[in-house]
A = this chain, B = another copy of it.
Amino acid sequence: MNGTAYVILGFLAAAPRSGYEIKSLVDVSTRFFWAASYGQIYPELKRLEDEGLVRGRDDDAGARRRRRHEITPAGRESLHAWLTAGGPLHFELRHEGFLRFFFCDELGGEDRRELLRTIRASHEGAREQLEAIRPHAQEQGDEGRSFPLHTLEFGIAYQEFIIDWAERMERRLAGGGH
């Protein structure tokens, strides 16, 4: 079972959802530290159904064709087991900006500062996207789920940490000359 399976179970634990809804929720919440695409979600929903962790039923209530997925008791158990499991946590970062920065000795001073501006700009963009999501997290908070908002606030602080670092480094390289 991979992380994406638990994203699905996690959202289904709060309410039954369609695959489309799960994807939309991911896009306004977990995507900055755990993204997921349709190409994963639909096959994974089927797999979870086969394993008995999710039950899917064609939904005739609305006008539109739609498949409603519910978490099963076994699914809840599996989710809880994952949430409380010991052992190492999967952690993976791929950051092209830092990779370039690492090789910055190959560059001149102006190119270096330009790179830092690019890094800063991209994290400022990410911060804005997170800020745009805040209303959704706040709604979750109003409904008694406070951790989506905690997570979002961490995410914003995380972006700001990198932005501040880039700023400091820009100034340092500007001062030191080259």
User: CB-CB contacts of A1-38 with B at 8 A, as 1s and 0s?
Assistant: 00100110010010000000000000001101111000
Report whether B97 and A91 are in contact in the complex, using a CB–CB cutoff of 8 Å: yes
In chain A between 131 and 177, which residues have their CB closer than 8 angstroms to a CB of chain B?
Answer: 144-148, 150-151, 154-155, 157-158, 161-162, 165, 169
In chain A between 105 and 120, which residues have their CB closer than 8 angstroms to a CB of chain B?
Answer: 105-107, 111, 114-115, 118-119
Task: Decide if A90 is an interface residue (CB 8 Å cutoff).
Answer: yes
Q: Which residues of B contact A34 (CB under 8 A)?
A: 94-96, 98-99
User: CB-CB contacts of A34-61 with B at 8 A, as 1s and 0s?
Assistant: 1100000000000000000000000000
CB distance from A94 to the nearest CB of B (A): 4
CA A106 – CA B122 in complex, angstroms? 33
Q: Which residues of B contact A102 (CB under 8 A)?
A: 10, 29-30, 147-148, 151
Q: Is the interface of A mostly helix, strand, loop or mixed?
A: helix
Report whether B147 and A115 are in contact in the complex, using a CB–CB cutoff of 8 Å: no
Report whether A99 and B3 are in contact in the complex, using a CB–CB cutoff of 8 Å: yes
Q: Given known contacts A10-B106, A13-B103, A105-B144, is B83 in contact with A115 (CB within 8 Å)?
A: yes
Q: Which residues of B contact A90 (CB under 8 A)?
A: 94-96
Q: Which of B33, B118, B154 contacts A165 (CB 8 A)?
A: B154
Q: Given known contacts A7-B99, A99-B30, A122-B89, is B105 in contact with A146 (CB within 8 Å)?
A: yes
CB distance from A73 to the nearest CB of B (A): 14
Q: Knowing that A7-B99, A79-B103 touch, tell me 11 more A-B residue pairs with CB under 8 angstroms.
A: A10-B106, A30-B102, A33-B98, A33-B99, A83-B103, A83-B111, A98-B155, A102-B148, A105-B147, A154-B165, A161-B161
